[in-house]
Amino acid sequence: MLPWHQYLFGLIFLAAGVTHFTKPHWYERIIPPYIPAHKTMVMLSGIAEMVLGFMLLNPDTQKVAAWSIIVMLILFFSVHILQNERASLKLPKWLLILRIPIQFGLIYWAYQYA
């Protein structure tokens, strides 16, 4: 039996992956302009998040999932750091900056299962 927080983390990734398909415009607008094929990237990252969320819920695959989530979260730093005006959703700068330590928190959380 996995700890409850591991189920929560896996479900968060599953839910985030689903929103890539239900609300793709949320994600398309935050992809930096130097990354091509925004729609395709949103769908691929959504699939990756769902697969990794499921893998995290399986003791046989949780380590691979945890390390993959860590790599993905590190790659996603560019989205948070290289934020453009359109992607900021007119949110206050302090709130956008707050996402960076949250990203570190998520990396640490994933590391617990690696």
Q: What's the pLDDT tens digit per position in 56-67?
A: 999 999 999 999
Q: For the chain, what is the domain count?
A: 1
- Among positive and negative, which fits the CA dihedral 100, 103, 109, 114? negative
Say which range, 5-19, 32-46, 83-97, has the weakest mean pLDDT.
Answer: 83-97
Coil, strand or helix at 36 = coil
Q: What's the pLDDT tens digit per position in 12-24?
A: 999 999 999 999 9
- Residue span of the structural domain in which 18 resides: 4-111
The mean of the pLDDT values for the chain is 89
pTM above 0.85, yes or no: yes
